[in-house]
Structure 1
Amino acid sequence: MTNPVLEQLTERRSVRAFTGETVKEADLAEIIKATQQAPTSINGQQITLVVVRDKERIARIAELAGQPGIAAADAFVAFVADFNRTAEAAKLAGTEQVVERSAEGILVGAVDAGIALATFQAAAAALGYGTTPIGGIRRNPAEIIALLELPPRTFPIVGSTLGVPDRARLNKVKPRVPVESFAMAERYDAEKVAEGVASYDQVLRAWWDGQGLTQMGGYAQETAGVYSRIYYPEVAATLRAQGFEFTD
Structure 2
Amino acid sequence: MNEVIQSLLSHRSVRSYQNKPVDEEELNQIIQAVQASPNWINGQQYSIIAVKDPERKNNLAQLCGGQKHIEEAPVFLIFCADFYRTYLASQMENKSMDAIFDIDTLIVGTTDVGIALGTAVAAAESLGLGTVPIGGIRRNALEVIKELNLPPYVIPVSGLCVGHPAQVPDQKPRLPKEAVYHEEIYQQEMLPLLEQYNDVYKKYLEERAQNNRAGTWTEMVATFFSKSYYHGVSDMLKQQKFPGGEK
Common fold: TM-score over 0.5: yes
Instruction: Look up the equivalent residue of 1:198 and give its one-letter code.
Output: E
Structure 2 counterparts to residues 4-83 of structure 1, below 5 A: 4-66=3-65, 67-83=67-83
Aligned to 2:127: 127
Can you give the 5+ residue segments of structure 1 that lack an aligned partner in the other structure?
Answer: none
Give the number of equivalent residue pairs.
244
1:197 pairs with one of 189, 194, 203: 194
Name the SS for the 2:131 alignment partner: coil
Aligned to 1:230: 228
Instruction: Look up the equivalent residue of 2:230 and give its one-letter code.
Output: Y
Distance in 2 separating the partners of 1:144 and 1:184: 38
Distance in 2 separating the partners of 1:95 and 1:198: 53
Aligned to 2:216: 218
Distance in 1 separating the partners of 2:215 and 2:235: 32
- Give, in angstroms, the shift of residue 98 of structure 1: 2.1
Deviation beyond 6 Å, 4+ runs, structure 1? none
Distance in 1 separating the partners of 2:147 and 2:49: 11
2:173 pairs with one of 171, 175, 179: 175
**More displaced stretch, 212-221 vs 6-15:** 212-221
- Give, in angstroms, the shift of residue 41 of structure 1: 0.6
TM-score w.r.t. length of structure 1? 0.94
Identity %: 37
Distance in 1 separating the partners of 2:153 and 2:228: 24
> Any idea what the Cα deviations from partners look like across 1:25-57, whole Å, max 9, x if unmatched?
111111111111111111111111000011111
Distance in 2 separating the partners of 1:52 and 1:88: 25
**Does the C-alpha gap of structure 1 residues 37 and 126 become closer, same or farther in structure 2, counting only changes over 3 Å?**
same
- Give, in angstroms, the shift of residue 216 of structure 1: 5.1
TM-score w.r.t. length of structure 2? 0.95
Name the SS for the 2:50 alignment partner: strand
- Give, in angstroms, the shift of residue 151 of structure 1: 0.5
Supply the RMSD in Å over aligned alpha carbons: 1.5
Instruction: Look up the equivalent residue of 1:195 and give its one-letter code.
Output: P
